[in-house]
Structure 1
Amino acid sequence: MRIVSACSPFIAVLVATALVVTPAAAEVILARYAVSLVGFRIGEASAHGAVSAAAYRVALDARLTGLAEWLAHMRIALASSGEIRRGNVLPNAYATTAATSRDTRTVRMALEAGNVRAVDISPPLEDESIRIPVSSAEKHNVLDPTSALIMAVPAGEPLVGPSACDRTLPIYDGVVRFDLTMTYTSTREVSVDGYKGPVSVCAVRYKPIAGHRYDSRSTRFMAQNHDIEVWLAPIARAHVVIPFHIGLRTMAGMAYVDAVELHLEPSGRTLKADR
């Protein structure tokens, strides 16, 4: 199980890479990603959904492949939905199930415009007593990991450049509360099946807030990690950006999530947020 433990911070970020969405003249997104660690392909993720200027829904399926699958048999599925209001992403529901050959855990979270109302974890965590408690205040104005990857850009600002990157994402996954602070560094041209054009390159820093273990070595590693980068692709109709590439140093070496297919198509439908 060494691969699973060494990659756990990376898997958390991969889970956050669930970019699929559905909302008012929605833009349909169909994406596939390849996951690699120290040069070896270890997994893949597929996403589908849609996003508009008013609402979104998201679904993602990720799994280990090849030798990593033989050793760990890990699969993750998640879904998220919410509203986009005045340039703010406001989640209303989040659910994820992570399964290995040994066990399965499901987390469900109900929110109201980004404020957590209820969390259900099944089976319950066995190590809750050795984790830093998450206060009620730390559960307000948050994003779940999936919603965090739908980044609204202020009206009138370009979708490529500093306005795409410069932000802090307050994330809560039902267990751990942390911030991701992003800073624009450059622009690149990319080309994959379905998308060819510019992406914004952002440096990312991880700041633990609560919910992690008091003695967590991986949390200390991530807090000191200067090798986290994300490239953001624009979605013009909804005026948002989504991840195209993630690079992350893990305790096992550099890991990458790369889009190998990214299709953006107008749906012709109007999406309303679930309540």
Structure 2
Amino acid sequence: MLCRRLAAALLVLLAAAPGARAAPESLETNYTISLIGLPVGRASFRTTLDGPRYRVEGTLASAGLADLVSKTQGTSSVSGRVRAGRLLADRYRLAYTSDAKSWRSDVRYRGGRAVSADVAPPPRNPPQPDFVPVRRAQLASVVDPLSGLMIKPAKPDPASLCSRTLPFYDGWSRLDLALSPSGTRAFSTEGFEGQAIVCDVRVRAVSGYRTSSNGIKYLSSRTLQIWFAPVRDSGIFAPVYVRIPTEVGPLSLTATTFAKP
């Protein structure tokens, strides 16, 4: 489950530049999802900026060969405020179905701290013996899976952008994405053409998981990759390409439309 939620988190990749505006502005970003080069899904997101407020609403659906095996559909949203160049979430929500099962998460934040989480199905009580519970102290400084992938580096180079750790919390689990610089790559899509900054990513499970999970063991031993591109002239960078190793083969997410009005 944690592996699926990580993939879902990496799908909701914002593509908008915060800043004060006289009227609300909406931007659209679309992604294709492929497994070992075969199309298996698509995702679409609309970001609305209204002065100091922002909101992102997205949809995710399986497609192609994936529908023959397991049909997946989901929605996700986040709302919050822009403060000092940062996106600070107030509320994050995720709901999706897969293999005829459903999951839902509703997390509220205040000043970078997660203050409440309502999830379904609820955590098992009592938990499994090897379950690592989420502790209150681990939620003092966290980011949501949507706006957490928006980064405004001090300088537009790999060292500045990728030298950081993102402390994700989705209502179920706490995990860190440890980024490190890996150069640049040429990337072209509708809305962007140029050099993308490449970050290698290692997943570190913190809490809200079972130590016996084969998925966690596999992801923790592999290197993911995220390519970031500048969102127009904002100074903000957002993902345009993601590569996630799986036991079947690489799962990739590629922007087909990037921050288009």
- Residues 221-236 of structure 1 mapped to structure 2, 5 A cutoff: 221-226=218-223, 228-236=224-232
Give, in whole Å, the separation in 2 of the partners of 1:153 and 1:50.
22
Change (3 A) 1:84 1:263: closer
Gaps of 5+ in 2: none
Change (3 A) 1:11 1:132: closer
Preserved contact between residue 56 and residue 84 of structure 1 (Cα < 8 Å): yes
Q: State which drifts further: 170-179 or 41-50.
A: 41-50
Aligned to 1:18: 12
Give, in whole Å, the separation in 2 of the partners of 1:161 and 1:28.
28
Aligned to 2:144: 144
3-state DSSP of counterpart to 1:31: strand
Aligned to 1:269: none
Q: TM-score, normalised by structure 1?
A: 0.84
For residues 172-216 of structure 1, give each alpha carbon's deviation from its aligned partner in whole angstroms, at most 9, with x where no partner exists.
Answer: 110110100111211222211222222101111111100011311
Aligned to 2:240: 244
3-state DSSP of counterpart to 1:151: coil
Shift of the alpha carbon at 1:223? 1.1
Give, in whole Å, the separation in 2 of the partners of 1:10 and 1:251.
13
Paired residues, number: 255
From 161, 165, 175, the counterpart of 2:162: 165
Amino acid at match of 1:174: G
Aligned to 1:91: 89
Give, in whole Å, the separation in 2 of the partners of 1:251 and 1:127.
30
Give, in whole Å, the separation in 2 of the partners of 1:237 and 1:60.
24
Give, in whole Å, the separation in 2 of the partners of 1:139 and 1:187.
33
Preserved contact between residue 39 and residue 65 of structure 2 (Cα < 8 Å): no
For residues 231-274 of structure 1, give each alpha carbon's deviation from its aligned partner in whole angstroms, at most 9, with x where no partner exists.
Answer: 00112443211110001111221110011122344xxxxxxxxx
Gaps of 5+ in 1: 266-275
Give, in whole Å, the separation in 1 of the partners of 2:203 and 2:250.
16
3-state DSSP of counterpart to 1:66: coil
- Residues 1-275 of structure 1 mapped to structure 2, 5 A cutoff: 9=3, 12-20=6-14, 24-25=20-21, 28-50=26-48, 54-126=52-124, 129-130=127-128, 131-154=131-154, 157-158=155-156, 160-226=157-223, 228-265=224-261
Preserved contact between residue 16 and residue 148 of structure 1 (Cα < 8 Å): no
Shift of the alpha carbon at 1:100? 2.5
Change (3 A) 1:35 1:11: farther
User: RMSD of the alignment, in Å?
Assistant: 2.3
Q: State which drifts further: 85-94 or 14-23.
A: 14-23
Give, in whole Å, the separation in 2 of the partners of 1:161 and 1:52.
30
Q: TM-score, normalised by structure 2?
A: 0.88
Give, in whole Å, the separation in 1 of the partners of 2:27 and 2:126.
37
Change (3 A) 1:237 1:65: same
Shift of the alpha carbon at 1:85? 2.6
Change (3 A) 1:59 1:132: same
Shift of the alpha carbon at 1:9? 2.0
Shift of the alpha carbon at 1:87? 4.0
For residues 89-110 of structure 1, give each alpha carbon's deviation from its aligned partner in whole angstroms, at most 9, with x where no partner exists.
Answer: 3221100001135222211011
Give, in whole Å, the separation in 2 of the partners of 1:16 and 1:81.
17
